[in-house]
Structure 1
């Protein structure tokens, strides 16, 4: 296992080819401060250099309860802008990085915590998780990318409801609203996230890069533009030496064929 980075805010552990990034401010429900953001940036850079996939999870009883309001209330307007833009920059390193990120969610996934989770590629929630965007009740607005990422996951109408009314979604409701792609028993989200990260890490790296970078961009394109770009991405990935070996292994029956869920 790799040495732990700045454990006062974020822990770091390498399990095989999967990096585990742990939000480590449990006494504050992992509320995100400026120093917290900088440490996340540090460990994400480290994961990019030595892992093929990563899991982000929270120590203690919660994933992340969002922005550290005690720090935020002291900022001027321009300091708030700078802070928001830094969140955008760091979370973009996750969303648009070199490796897939899977978040393991439990307890509060609130405000900035939901914005962080939305920057990951797959979200696993256990049944203790709950989702909320209470910025309206605090007299503020989302600043960590939620108006883009969360709205794209749930739809603008759902996000508007959460922000205007303070609605809190259960884990089950969060899964139905696409805030999580997996729902697991309480206490098992990190294990499931690791299992998924291992599966992603076993893919060809060029395929993973294409999936996490091309798919979101294609969704923003006109239909014909998206299909045009898809053709190029498909051609580039298929001509890599690793793709050739993997395709030959399948054709020569050196790897198992897919089976229906539950089948022997």
Structure 2
């Protein structure tokens, strides 16, 4: 099945929704229509799935903003367009289900911003990351100054923007912008595996992780600790948590084991 204007394909694998960016002839560059297609697919996934994966059709994840469209926008239209990106990407970052991005090829500019909105980023060894806004005479507008800067730090983000530096997947993992690096052709399968694992979590806990953690990061330590106590108490009161804890205490749930154990 497909999303708006076939710009985003949609597929269910069990409890996981796969959203495929489907503009390969443009390296999946994002236009305003594309943003709305992403919104429609994310909204649908949030109502039908327990986790989601965002990937790119063709050889690239997403080469960023469609500059041919952006260059013709009046000032206020550009502001409104950026704010729309913020709203759509926020529904990915702080929505009701977690998303994983499966990255191959380019994750450039707005493509990196989209990936940064997902909870986990899986990159193939052929993936590369860049923020060429300095060379284009523009500035990030899809939330990168917040999301990417928090992942890799503002100094490293500034380096990328000022110099046009292009990073490979392994370096980006070391910088904190990528969660997992896999061989070429394996990102989608690995992302689905991770999403399926997250889909098995308690629904309220997933929601709290997506929505409480980033807000706590914005708070003072005392406010954050207070909020943590409230969220932790609410989580243990849900019927699902009570059943899961009972299953563990009665040895129907597996213990945490050491890696490789």
Name the CA distance, whole Å, in 2 between partners of 1:221 and 1:157.
22
Name the SS for the 1:153 alignment partner.
helix
- In the other structure, the counterpart of 1:124 is 122
- Quote the Cα distance in structure 2 between the aligned partners of 1:160 and 1:5: 35
Q: CA deviation at 1:7?
A: 5.7
Contact 2:123 2:169 in 1 (8 A): yes
Separation in 1, partners of 2:126, 2:28: 16
Correspondence for 1:181: 179
What is the alpha-carbon distance in structure 1 between the residues aligned to residue 224 and residue 71 of structure 2? 43
Alpha-carbon shift at residue 6 of structure 1 (Å): 3.2
Asked whether the equivalents of residues 4 and 36 of structure 2 are also in contact (C-alpha less than 8 Å), the reply is no
Match 2:140 to one of 126, 139, 142: 142
3-state secondary structure, aligned to 1:131: strand
Task: Select 1:225's aligned residue among 201, 223, 233.
Answer: 223
Hey, what's the Cα distance between the residues in 1 that align with 2:63 and 2:252?
47
Equivalent residue, structure 2, for 1:40:
38
* Map of 1:6 onto structure 2: 4
Number of residue equivalences: 261
Q: Residues 7 and 24 of structure 1 are in contact (CA less than 8 Å); yes or no, is this contact kept in structure 2?
A: no
Paired position in structure 2 for 1:112 = 110
Partner SS, residue 147 of structure 2 = helix
CA RMSD across the alignment: 0.8
- Displacement after TM superposition at 1:76 (Å): 1.3
| Contact 1:99–1:208 (8 Å) recurs in 2 | yes
Is the partner of 2:19 in helix, strand or coil?
strand
On the 8 A contact 1:8/1:24 being kept in 2, the answer is yes
Q: Which residue of 2 aligns with 1:211?
A: 209
Unaligned runs of 5+ in 2: none
What is the DSSP-based 3-state SS (H/G/I as helix, E as strand, rest coil) of the residue aligned with 1:4?
A: coil
Q: Structure 1 stretches (4+) deviating beyond 4 angstroms?
A: none
C-alpha displacement of 1:209: 0.4
Superposition deviation, residue 224 in structure 1 = 1.0
Instruction: Write the distance in 2 (CA, Å) between the matches of 1:224 and 1:74.
Output: 47
TM-superposition CA deviations, 1:44-72 (whole Å, max 9, x none)? 11001100000000000000000001111
Report the CA distance between 1:5 and its aligned residue: 2.5
Q: Which residue of 1 aligns with 2:61?
A: 63
> Which residue of 1 is the match for residue 193 of structure 2?
195
Indicate conservation of the 8 Å contact 2:5/2:37, yes or no: no
Counterpart-to-counterpart distance in 1, 2:253 and 2:226? 31
Q: SS at the partner of 1:27? A: helix
Instruction: Give, in whole Å, the separation in 2 of the partners of 1:172 and 1:90.
Output: 28
Q: In structure 1, what is the equivalent of residue 14 of structure 2? A: 16
TM-score, length of structure 1 as denominator length: 0.97
Q: Normalized against structure 2, the TM-score is what?
A: 0.98
1:6-35 deviation per Cα after TM superposition (whole angstroms, max 9, x unaligned): 363110011111000000000000000010
